[in-house]
Amino acid sequence: MGFRRSRLPIALMAALCAAAGVHAAAGPLPFWQSSLSHTAWTKREGAPANASAMVQDRTGMLWFGASDGLFRFDGVRFERVDGIGDNKLLSPNVYSLALFGDALWLGYAHGGITVFEHGTARHYREADGVPPSAVIQFGKTADGTQWFSSPAGIYWLDGARWRRVAPEDGLPAGEQPTLTVLNDGSLLVTHLSGLYRSVPGTHRFRKVDGFGSMQRSQLTADGQVIVMRFGYTPRLFDPVSETSAPLRLPDVGVAPYSINRDRRNAWWIGPGDGLRLYTPDFQLKKQLLAPAGFSAVRVYRPPFDDREGNLWFMTENGVDRMRETRLSVQDMPTGSTDFSIVAGADGEVWISSHSSLSPFSPPTFAIAADGQRTASDMPSATAATLAADGTLWFGNVHWVWNRRHGQVQRWPMPPGLIEQPVQAVAMGDDGRLWVSIMRRGVHTFKDGAWQAGGGHPELAERTAVSLHTDAQGRTWFGYTDNTLAVLDHGRIRRFGAADGVAVGNVLTMFSRRGVLWIGGDQGVARFRDGRFVMLNDSTGQPFAGVSGIVETAQGELWLHGLDGLIRIGAADLAAALGDGRERVAAERFGYLDGHQGVPAQVIPLNTLIEADDGRLWYATSSSVGLIDPRRIARNPVAPTPQITWLNTDSRRYAVADGLELPRHTHNLRIDFTAAVLSVPERARFRIRLIGQDHAWRDAGALRQAFYTNLGPGDYRFEVMAANEDGLWSAAPASVSFQIAPAFYQTGWFKLACAALLAGALYRLYLWRLSLMTARVIERMRTRLDERERIARTLHDTFLQSVHGLSLRFHSIKAVLAKNDTAQQQIDAALDAADAVIEEGREQLMDLRVNHSCRGELAAVLQEAGAAAAAQQRMAFSLREEGTRRLLQAEAQDELFAIAREAIANALLHSGSADVAVQMTYGATVFTLAVQDHGKGLDEVVRQTGRRERHWGLTGMRERAARIGATLAIHSTPGAGTAVVVTLRAALVYR
């Protein structure tokens, strides 16, 4: 590419420079002023071939009509549609499409029309007036009349029947007319004999122009109509003046197949080898040549503008999309690579590069703020900087030079420094230029004189990868391996990993508002309170390969790294600077935004700069581009989510509220989507299944939700979608469904299972109870046998011995004189022996008696108490209160033993004339009381609770404790004694 030293004409610069002019507003730019991203879909991606019609519905979904079917496209996947709801197409050969409100109109290649609206379908066939030929186009005029064109003529809908416009209505027959609805709502028919316009309020036409055609006309954004006839010069018809004028097209060598103008006034001309983009005054902007740059050689249909500002073309091989990228890539000289950039004055940017086509690098040139380019005779630079006085300084292998007020002054490298490229340059506050030279260390240059290390020998020993002078006059030196140094008023201080430097090789530095930023191949850090603090993204990952940093005047931080451009918003950055946080939200601009190549990691560095006009320029190995951070194009269209299918293991279900899924449905896949057409790769979804999920879940870019182990019940699935700018849909799409329970999942089955389980547990309880009872009986039998053995042993040994001893004393007493004092002592001893024998006999009886109570406690006590009282000639009574209850066996045995002991004590020791027993069956407690009206207990017994050498009272307490009962003894001298046993109902009743 050649250059003139003077400024080139504006028109030519517009053709040379893509989007180098003022990066317009946040809305879409004209395509000739922006960088284009082209994407093609062919049959390999499922796209229709040779589609003839295209519309966009309210949800943003694109619909295509083609000979191989009706297709729907969400930006990611083409889906062939055989019907809508339960309504099928008349034919898969769809030739025309139209949307009127929510009604989707389909015209078929062999005749017939279908109208889909709100879940219903209306078919028009030959019997309804539709001819057996292709329905080419639909239209609707201002009075609400529906029209279509076909090779047989123009038709309008009269109630439920279609009627053809007859020649007597002003329109000649045949010749495959096409129609265009003009901006005023009237109909323009293109006929081989000329142009005909409808008469408002009628179905009549009048001829308005003699230039006719059988090809489709195109209505442009300004209301004019392009009329094209193959082999003739196309004409532009003005509906206001009803005149046409020839279009003076650029010479493309052959008669073009298509000529179209989009709503941004760009011209798209298809000469038969692809597509060409022209400015409004027909300056060639871009060539899209098939097959590499376009999906086919011919384009017949006008382009389609979607609601997001993308432009779509239907070709014989597929579908092509043109969209504006947020990064505006600049046209560079052919063969240029490895670009270096530096900001100049008045918004201009100076660019150097190397050449892949020549051993000689192209000269450095400038692009001004208005897009004009300025050539120069300056060689290509490997490093550059802008001094505070506006002087530009450059360096390369052979020279150091500056440019000031349009004048260039050069100085050759001295012998010791030549043949090695300049790595970095920075202007010190003392007017000396710091120059870092690969393998030669750092030097200063001023007024033609060089000084190694600027007077600091240690600085001359090592090459700095990057240099920077901050507003405080400090010069910073960035090295490899997490090392920096700063020269601050003559003193050098070094920083390393111990000071928080963890960016790896320090590739770039930038300072603003007193904050120093450093970037390297392993991250970004800022200088804070004498240390460096890393800054990572919201996930904690470092920003990799950063060789360019700019903090804008608006407070945003921009990075240029291996992932492209990275933007950190002003609010997030201020928060990070304020509280020292190390994680921030970041917005990335990568290949989807037009970023090409990778930023340099060795030389040339400073791959991101800020021009005077606030725009940011970046350089990579293969491109130079820009972005205006104040006017970033955003997608203002919130997507509308849609749920498309519910899939079980055995069947796919169309979406309908209240859907009933069969029993045994455990696994479910729900398909959903949203039309995000500009950058569908960045669409995001969040989902929740009410009845299963407790909160929204982030689905990322996935357009399917999977659920396993679902049980029967009512569910509602909801999904929301966001476009590439994080703009979420206003409301979620939802579908409710029900999973029917299997018989074993019903309530009655669960109740039956619970009943069976309860019965089984009860039977188990009874079995366990019988087992435990048998064990208790066995233990009691063993205990009784042992007691009888002990009783026999005591009787045969101890009692017999005492009895024998008593007899010996009787023998001794017999030989003593009657008045012998020893007789009295022997009698006392014999009385004691008799007492021992009597006590022993009572104990033996206790050991031998079986205390188990066979039968009901009241009956057994009545029998035993009455028998014992009769022997003592005393009265006995038993009274019950409450409803008699069955008692647990162990509790009943212990209660019987306690009552028997209390009755025996009353009969033997109380001196009462009667004994009474009362049994009270309470709801919560059971009470057993034994009452006499005798002399009462001795004072010693009342105080100690036991009788000396007697264990009856102690035994009663032990028995009561064994069954969880409480035993109380109430005694009043001369009034009698009451023994009361109290036991909780749960422990005693069966």
Q: Supply the DSSP string of 725-741, one letter for each residue.
A: T--B-SS-EEEEEEEPP
Instruction: Report if residue 253 sits inside a domain.
Output: no
Do 738 and 761 fall into the same domain?
no
The answer, yes or no, to whether residue 407 has pLDDT greater than 80, is yes
Q: What confidence tier does 10 reach under pLDDT thresholds 50, 70, 90? A: very low
Q: What is residue 793's predicted lDDT score, i.e. its pLDDT?
A: 78
Q: Are the CB atoms for 259 and 267 separated by under 8 Å?
A: yes
Pick from 289-293, 633-637, 656-660, 851-855: least confident: 851-855
Q: What six digits make up the tokens of 180?
A: 């265009």
| More confident site: 464 or 788 | 464
515/564 same-domain check: yes
Vertex 614 angle, CA 608 and 615, to 5°: 55
Q: Within a 13 Å sphere around the CA of 556, how many CA atoms are in the beta-carbon half? A: 18
Strand 531-537 and strand 583-584: the pairing is parallel
pLDDT at 2: 36
Looking at the predicted structure, is the pLDDT value of residue 783 above 70? yes
What is the band of 868 on the pLDDT scale with cuts at 50, 70, 90? confident
How far is it, in rounded angstroms, from Cα 280 to Cα 15? 12
Together in a domain, 863 and 966: yes
Least confident of 112-121, 141-150, 722-731, 863-872: 863-872
- pLDDT band per the 50, 70, 90 thresholds, residue 17: very low
Task: Pick from 249-263, 496-510, 648-662 the range whose average pLDDT is largest.
Answer: 496-510
Higher pLDDT, 680 or 790: 680
Over residues 197-201, mean pLDDT: 93
pLDDT at 830: 76
More confident residue, 260 or 3: 260
**What local confidence, expressed as pLDDT, does residue 799 receive?**
66
Cα–Cα distance measured from residue 688 to residue 666, given in angstroms and rounded to the nearest whole number: 17
Beta strand segments in 210-317, E: 218-219, 225-227, 235-238, 243-246, 258-261, 267-270, 274-278, 284-289, 304-305, 311-314
pLDDT of 7 reads 33
Evaluate whether residue 395 is within a structural domain.
Answer: no
Share of the chain above pLDDT 70, in %: 93
In this structure, the number of other CB atoms found within 10 A of the CB of residue 488 comes to 13
Instruction: Report d(CA 203, CA 171) in Å as an integer.
Output: 10
CATH number, domain with residue 871: 3.30.565.10
Bridge partner list, 972: 976
Q: CB–CB of 442/436 below 8 Å?
A: yes
Domain-terminating residue out of 850, 882, 912: 850
Inside any domain, residue 702: yes
Same domain (yes/no): 990, 913:
yes
Tell whether 553 is covered by a domain.
Answer: yes
Would you say residue 47 has pLDDT above 50? yes
> Is pLDDT at 334 greater than 90 in this prediction?
no
Specify if 788 maps to a domain: yes
E strand or H helix that includes residue 981: strand 976-984
Residue 465 resides in a domain: no
Task: Quote the tokens at residue 780.
Answer: 């009691």
Assign residue 949 a region: left if phi > 0, alpha if psi is -120 to 50, beta otherwise? left
Give me the pLDDT at residue 256, please: 84
- Kind of pairing between the strands at 587-589 and 583-584: unpaired
Contacts of 940-945 with CB under 8 Å at 24 or more apart are 941/971, 942/971, 945/969
Q: According to the model, what pLDDT value does residue 506 have? A: 97
- Average pLDDT over every residue of 237-249: 94
> Which region among 449-453, 540-544, 589-593, 778-782 has the lowest average model confidence (pLDDT)?
778-782
Here the tokens at position 657 are 């509220």
Q: How many residues does the chain have?
A: 990
Q: CB atoms < 10 A from the CB of 598, how many?
A: 17
Q: β-strands 373-374, 383-386: how paired?
A: unpaired
What pLDDT shows up at residue 59?
95
Summarize the confidence of residues 952-971 as an average pLDDT: 86
Residue 511 shares a structural domain with residue 589? yes
Q: Report whether pLDDT(210) > 70.
A: yes
Spatial contact of 328 and 19, defined as CB atoms under 8 Å apart: yes
- Residue type present at position 212: G
Q: Residue 473 to residues 377, 386, 393, 456, 513: CA-CA distances in angstroms?
A: 33, 15, 18, 17, 14
> Do 830 and 901 fall into the same domain?
no
What is the DSSP code string of 62-94? EEEEETTEEEEE-SS-EEEESEETTEE-S-S-E
Mean pLDDT computed over 890-897? 87
Among 576, 603, 630, the domain boundary falls at 603
Tell me the C-alpha distance between 701 and 676, whole Å. 11
Phi first, then psi, for residue 199 (nearest 5°) are -90, 120
Quick one: 645 exposed, middle or buried, by C-beta within 10 A (0-12, 13-18, 19+)?
middle
pLDDT tops 70 at residue 464? yes
Higher pLDDT, 811 or 513: 513
- Write the CA distances from 341 to 509, 608, 618, integer angstroms: 15, 8, 7
Distance, in Å, from the CA atom of 442 to the CA atom of 450, rounded to the nearest integer, reads: 10
Residue 238 lies in a domain: no
> For residue 936, which of 973, 908, 903 has the smallest C-alpha distance?
973
- Cis, bond preceding 246 (omega within 30 deg of 0): no
**Is residue 491 one of the residues assigned to a domain?**
no
As a whole number of angstroms, the distance between CA 171 and CA 155 comes to 11
Check residue 776 and give its pLDDT: 74
CA 162, CA 107: separation in Å to the nearest integer?
13
Q: In angstroms, rounded to a whole number, what is the distance separating the alpha carbons of residues 704 and 685? A: 10
d(C-alpha 726, C-alpha 744), whole Å: 46
pTM summary value: 0.74
394 CB-side CA count, 13 A: 29
pLDDT in tens, 57-110: 999 999 999 999 999 999 999 999 999 988 999 999 999 999 999 999 999 999
How many other CB atoms are there within 10 angstroms of residue 914's CB atom? Answer: 16
29 vs 808, higher pLDDT: 808
Average pLDDT, the chain: 88
- pLDDT in the model for residue 12: 27
Regarding whether 875 and 842 lie in a shared domain, the answer is: no
In angstroms, the Cα distances linking 58 to 55, 97, 637, 638 are 10, 15, 11, 12
Confidence of residue 403 (pLDDT cuts 50, 70, 90): very high
CB neighbour list of residue 597: distance below 8 Å, 6 or more residues apart? 620, 621, 622, 623
Domain end, chosen from 745, 778, 804, is at 745
Same domain, 520 and 541: yes
User: How distant, in Å, are the alpha carbons of 544, 758, 802, 838, 930 from that of 832?
Assistant: 109, 64, 11, 10, 31
For residue range 569-590, list pLDDT tens digits in order.
999 999 988 877 889 999 999 9
Question: What residue type is assigned to position 293 of the chain?
Answer: G
Q: What CATH number is given to the structural domain containing 727?
A: 2.60.40.10
- Kindly report the number of other CB atoms within 10 A of residue 911's CB atom: 14
Strand, coil or helix: 429: coil
Backbone angles phi, psi at 671, to 5 degrees: -95, 135
Hey, what are 199's tokens? 């008469």
Give yes or no for a contact between 966 and 957, defined as CB atoms under 8 angstroms apart.
Answer: no
Distances from the Cα of 795 to the Cα of 309, 780, 791, 805, 883, angstroms: 118, 22, 6, 14, 45
User: What pLDDT is attached to residue 4?
Assistant: 34
Same domain, 909 and 928: yes
Number of folded domains that form the chain: 4
Using DSSP's 3-state secondary structure scheme, residue 420 falls into: coil
Residue-range definition of the domain harbouring residue 980: 855-990
Are 672 and 773 within one domain? no
The pLDDT-based confidence of 912 (bands split at 50, 70, 90) is confident
Can you list the positions of beta strands (E) in 396-448? 399-404, 407-412, 422-427, 433-437, 441-446
Is 832 found in the same domain as 772? Answer: yes
Whether the Cβ atoms of residue 715 and residue 660 lie closer than 8 Å to each other = no
**What are the φ and ψ backbone dihedral angles of 696, each rounded to 5 degrees?**
-65, 145
Residues 653 and 762 in one domain: no
Give me the pLDDT at residue 248, please: 87
Tokens of 419: 């043949």
CA–CA distance, 348 with 611 (Å, rounded to integer):
7
Distance CA(605)–CA(465), nearest Å, equals 9
Q: H/E element holding 908?
A: helix 889-909
CB count in 10 Å sphere of residue 388: 10
Mean pLDDT for 762-773 is 88
**What is the average pLDDT across 850-854?**
59
**Which tokens sit at 171?**
């329109």
What pLDDT sits at residue 323? Answer: 93
Question: What's the rounded Cα separation, in Å, for the pair 391 and 385?
Answer: 8
